[in-house]
Structure 1
């Protein structure tokens, strides 16, 4: 049995006439009549009661019509869904984000995906450090990572630089730096610094530590935290200051003032995905490029992105 036999049967059942059904199917009547007889022979039962003027369904034919319609509808639905998946308009996507991307880019991405790819089921995991995201990408727990640098192996990953975020110094509202137009790295000497934990492989921890070392002093880490929101809360409480990417200003934590860090100081925001064919991911990266200001692919021949490579 072929699907065309079901289509022929449905046309005859709905038209109740072989001639009209043949016209509807854009075929001659004799081949249509033969196809219906072949279908009845294969089933071993009569689907129609034929008269000189009209064709009526038998009780078995009426029951078969319901099932035939369901089969063709399922086939058509499967085809539509397969095309949507192939075009990247349907599927599943799990996104991980570092803290600053959680507050800045993630809301924009969520709205854009809902508007442009409503058939894509999306899950988000915010406040994930880069090493955790890389591990989750390799393990298949994440499909897309928004992170600062690649911690660990970038083998098998496709990297896209989304933007460069300026570095600021977050200070309590009563701190001496509040009156300055900017601060330099040397000003951080002797200050109590609040950072993400060194044991977690935090990109920002490595960056701030390196900046201090290059300036000739060791960073005085007073507190280590797991989340960016906690870091800024500690700053507001007067427990220290912190070097942060500019998007963290969107948190709007009361009692925190952000002062620019002098010099060409920025940190990249990178999209990391598995290097595999994924139409949904291709569309998502296009969307990310629009809402973040334009991505740039990282050639496969380049070394993994790390702080200081820009």
Structure 2
């Protein structure tokens, strides 16, 4: 018995009249009667007591009606669920991001996407650039917020925002009362860099920016991530070059200062596979670009 035959049976079982059931199904009565007879022969059970003036369900018919209505309801629910998944209104999206991105544009993108697609479950996974690349290749994540971008011929990349570089210093450091400083201060202090590995990384970008500005960093301390680097700054272990968005959040024990002259900028990008066909990723990228346009 197929789904169409099940629909025929339910119509007759609910109407208990072949004529009314045929009218409800928009078909002639003889082919409907033949379909019911075929179902009974296939199931080897009589489903209807056929009297002169009325028909009633047998016990087998009552059980089949109960099961058929449940199955057809599940089928309708499944069709609706698949349709909503296909439209991107429901489902799952796995989002990888570098830690520093949470200070800037990424929270606004997440909020905007959640407001537009409230039934999509977002898994947020903090990773460094190397991990983002590996997991995007292996399809363990769907999109990646990287700094500055992931370099791979299989990826598409959309730059979202450019940021200045600031320097985070301990609030106990005596460097004047202004909001700017220069690279000469690094001669007397450790430059805290992250991540320590894998390389190349954001640390190498900072070192290159300093070198291009004519300053070769003498005292280097490597750590694993931004949060650890800021904690080391707060206790006076050195200074750290960070994206401007990191400086937008106050943090005990730290002052954020502009570097003069500027040593460079850093970008946040959204990255995804070129062969990605999922509508969730397409919708998310559109939201991310829309938010980026508004913020910039």
SS in 2 for 1:199: coil
Q: Which runs of 4+ in 1 moved over 6 A?
A: none
Match of 2:177 in 1: 179
Equivalent residue in structure 1 for 2:197, among 196, 199, 210 = 199
SS in 2 for 1:179: coil
**CA-to-aligned-CA distance 1:47-97 (integer Å, 9 cap, x gap):** 111234332111001111122122222322222222222222233322111
Contact 2:197 2:224 in 1 (8 A): no
Which 10-residue stretch deviates more, 54-63 or 16-25?
16-25
* Cα distance in 1 for residues equivalent to 2:79 and 2:290: 30
Q: Are 2:105 and 1:95 aligned?
A: no
- Give the C-alpha shift of residue 244 in structure 1: 0.4
Residue pairs, 1:6-85, within 5 angstroms: 6-85=6-85
Q: 1:13 to 1:250 in 2, by over 3 A?
A: farther
- Give the C-alpha shift of residue 280 in structure 1: 1.1
* Cα distance in 2 for residues equivalent to 1:165 and 1:145: 18
Match of 2:139 in 1: 140
Q: 1:108 to 1:294 in 2, by over 3 A?
A: closer
Q: 1:221 to 1:48 in 2, by over 3 A?
A: farther
Question: Which sections of structure 1, spanning at least 5 residues, go unmatched?
Answer: 296-310
* Cα distance in 2 for residues equivalent to 1:294 and 1:135: 31
* Cα distance in 2 for residues equivalent to 1:134 and 1:294: 28
* Matched positions, count: 293
Q: 1:105 to 1:202 in 2, by over 3 A?
A: farther
- Give the C-alpha shift of residue 168 in structure 1: 1.3
SS in 2 for 1:285: helix
Contact 2:166 2:247 in 1 (8 A): no
SS in 2 for 1:45: coil
Q: TM-score, normalised by structure 1?
A: 0.84
Match of 1:279 in 2: 279
**CA-to-aligned-CA distance 1:87-125 (integer Å, 9 cap, x gap):** 222333221111111344454444444433344332222
* Cα distance in 1 for residues equivalent to 2:24 and 2:77: 22
Q: 1:202 to 1:116 in 2, by over 3 A?
A: farther
Q: RMSD over aligned Cα, in angstroms?
A: 2.5
- Give the C-alpha shift of residue 22 in structure 1: 2.3
Contact 1:94 1:124 in 2 (8 A): yes
SS in 2 for 1:238: coil
